[in-house]
Amino acid sequence: MVDADQTYVIVGGGLAGAKAAETLRAEGFTGRVILICDERDHPYERPPLSKGYLLGKEERDSVFVHEPAWYARNDIELHLGQTVDAIDRAAKTVRFGDDGTLVHYDKLLLATGAEPRRLDIPGTDLAGVHHLRRLAHADRLKGVLAALGRDNGHIVIAGAGWIGLEVAAAAREYGAEVTVVEPEPTPLHGVLGPELGNVFAELHREHGVRFRFGVRLTEIVGQDGMVLAARTDDGDEHPAHDVLAAIGVAPRVGLAEAAGLELADRAQGGGIVVDARLRTSDPDIHAAGDVASFPHELFGTRLRVEHWANALNGGPAAARAMLGREVTYDRVPYFFSDQYDVGMEYSGWAPPGSYDEVVIRGDAGKRHFIAFWLKEGRVLAGMNVNVWDVTDAIQRLIREQRVVDPEALADPAVALESLSA
Ligand SMILES: Cc1cc2nc3c(=O)[nH]c(=O)nc-3n(C[C@H](O)[C@H](O)[C@H](O)COP(=O)(O)OP(=O)(O)OC[C@H]3O[C@@H](n4cnc5c(N)ncnc54)[C@H](O)[C@@H]3O)c2cc1C
């Protein structure tokens, strides 16, 4: 191949970056592959950090994307614990590390992911206020939850999104007292809407979680660096020894912005604008994973997807595009979650306001069902809860955009496959 003298640089060693490196080699790229990440750990997968790993049921070794020796074996030049702080698009270099090392790129992939939003309230810097994004955060939180469980301690979780709820489940399994504070009227409101959010509220209440909906945290009260309580804007004070801020993430666009790359509007979820080939406004720079805002023809909008499958598939798609292969990144968004004995998968995209009907197939009360979000009779999204091996059928319905009979959709006796072409 003529690419032996080419250098491809990947910034960000999360799942998207690591999978892109793997794909470059799998596709036969023989040039230099340089992967730079500000974390000290080898690239790892984050979902276990709020589930099995947090619960102490999964070993540390199980979270890594590749075993450490894989990188040398595949001639991937790994620079861990090093931050890329500038891109010079004219010179085609990136600068990284304390000594400002410059490295030339022929193609560059930005897989910088996202970072947790911080609570902008008094007390947010107290030692007992936590975030969960990194392995080190999970290690710390694991110790905190175990201690709270031992001592009947109390954690207040700000945010009833996926991470807030998964940590609530883990905290209850450790035996900690849990209060979840959420400004919206139901958990997961922005993803599931009010109809289905209540299924998760019930699940957690049955396991002893207290919810405070429709209120916000206004202050974390502390003494000598320790958390004592958390206050909400209705004037209530909630006992707390620790607080988890699980109020969402922001895409890490600083580097792209400083380099003058086009960014998406905040109203559209922000992120680095890419085309369907995951190419940014600079044709030699691609972006993938949580940080990328890509056009999705099926949903008629730009999407920035903060989920595992998008990093798993987007990194390789970007790598193939960097190599000049034909790529159209149009996967149906997919994610999963596990809480207590409930597992779910969600395919599609149907935020509140985008659908006009919710159809349930099965028994939502028993948490054994599939929910479909429809617009004018067409399926926009589907979520299977404790029902398995239906993702392909659900995604086919979403892709085909055919008008389906809601009664047939709701009837478990009608095979889902029979509703698509
Ligand atoms: C606790 C937790 C649980 C999750 N559970 C689920 C789940 O159950 N299901 C699901 O679908 N999704 C889940 N997710 C989301 C999923 O993990 C993310 O979508 C995925 O990690 C995104 O991968 P990424 O490679 O795009 O970004 P990241 O994983 O964020 O990786 C980006 C990396 O780049 C580094 N970086 C950023 N800027 C620079 C720079 N300038 N220089 C050097 N390095 C830099 C970052 O430190 C980071 O290591 C979970 C996330 C978390 C945090």
Asked if 239 contacts 154 with a C-beta cutoff of 8 angstroms, the reply is: yes
User: Which pair of tokens denotes residue 395?
Assistant: 């995604």
One-letter amino acid at 12 equals G
Asked if 417 contacts 393 with a C-beta cutoff of 8 angstroms, the reply is: yes
pLDDT at position 50 is: 98
Confidence of residue 2 (pLDDT cuts 50, 70, 90): low
Mean pLDDT, the chain, integer:
97
Rounded to an integer, the average pLDDT of 188-210 is: 94
**What's the pLDDT tens digit per position in 257-303?**
999 999 999 888 999 999 999 999 999 999 999 999 999 999 999 99
Cα–Cα distances in angstroms (integers) from residue 416 to residues 359, 372, 375, 398, in the given order: 13, 12, 18, 12
Q: What are phi and psi of 347, to 5 degrees?
A: -125, 140
- Ligand 1, atom 20: closest residue by C-alpha: 308
Largest CA distance in the chain: 68
132 Cβ closer than 6 Å to some ligand 1 atom: yes
54 Cβ closer than 6 Å to some ligand 1 atom: no
CA 49 / ligand 1 centre spacing (Å) = 11
Rounded to an integer, the average pLDDT of 224-253 is: 97
Give 19's contacts (C-beta < 8 A, 6+ positions apart): 65, 311, 312, 315, 316, 319
User: Which pair of tokens denotes residue 410?
Assistant: 């709701």
Cα–Cα distances in angstroms (integers) from residue 301 to residues 265, 268, 284, 354, 373, in the given order: 12, 9, 24, 12, 17
Rounded to an integer, the average pLDDT of 24-48 is: 98
User: Which pair of tokens denotes residue 300?
Assistant: 């008629």
Ligand 1 atom at minimum distance from 254 CA: 41
94 Cβ closer than 6 Å to some ligand 1 atom: no
Rounded to an integer, the average pLDDT of 235-246 is: 97
Rounded to an integer, the average pLDDT of 84-98 is: 98
**What's the pLDDT tens digit per position in 341-396?**
999 999 999 998 999 999 999 999 999 999 999 999 999 999 999 999 999 999 99
Asked if 374 contacts 359 with a C-beta cutoff of 8 angstroms, the reply is: yes
Asked if 80 contacts 43 with a C-beta cutoff of 8 angstroms, the reply is: no
Q: Is the pLDDT of residue 142 over 80?
A: yes
Q: Is the pLDDT of residue 1 over 80?
A: no
* Residues 21/252/298/367 CA torsion (nearest 10 deg): 90
- Which of 140, 249, 290 best tests ligand 1's pocket when mutated (most atoms within 8 Å of CB)? 290
Confidence of residue 4 (pLDDT cuts 50, 70, 90): confident
- Which of 10, 36, 37 best tests ligand 1's pocket when mutated (most atoms within 8 Å of CB)? 37
CA 42 / ligand 1 centre spacing (Å) = 13
Rounded to an integer, the average pLDDT of 73-87 is: 98
345 Cβ closer than 6 Å to some ligand 1 atom: no
Ligand 1 atom at minimum distance from 307 CA: 19
Confidence of residue 3 (pLDDT cuts 50, 70, 90): confident
Q: How many CA atoms lie within 13 A of 129 on its CB side?
A: 24
Q: What is the 3-state secondary structure (H, E, C) of the chain?
A: CHHHHCEEEEECCCHHHHHHHHHHHHCCCCCEEEEEECCCCCCECCHHHHCCCCCCCCCHHHHECCCHHHHHHCCEEEEECCCEEEEECCCCEEEECCCCEEEECCEEEECCCEEECCCCCCCCCCCCEECCCCHHHHHHHHHHHHHHHHCCCEEEEECCCHHHHHHHHHHHHHCCEEEEEECCCCCCHHHHHHHHHHHHHHHHHHCCCEEEECCCEEEEEEECCEEEEEEECCCCEEECCEEEECCCEEECCHHHHHCCCCECCHHHCCCEECCCCCECCCCCEEECHHHEEEEECCCCEEECCCCHHHHHHHHHHHHHHHCCCCCCCCCCCEEEEEECCEEEEEEECCCCCCCCEEEEEEECCCCEEEEEEEECCEEEEEEEECCCCCHHHHHHHHHHCCECCHHHHHCCCCCHHHHCC
Confidence of residue 194 (pLDDT cuts 50, 70, 90): confident
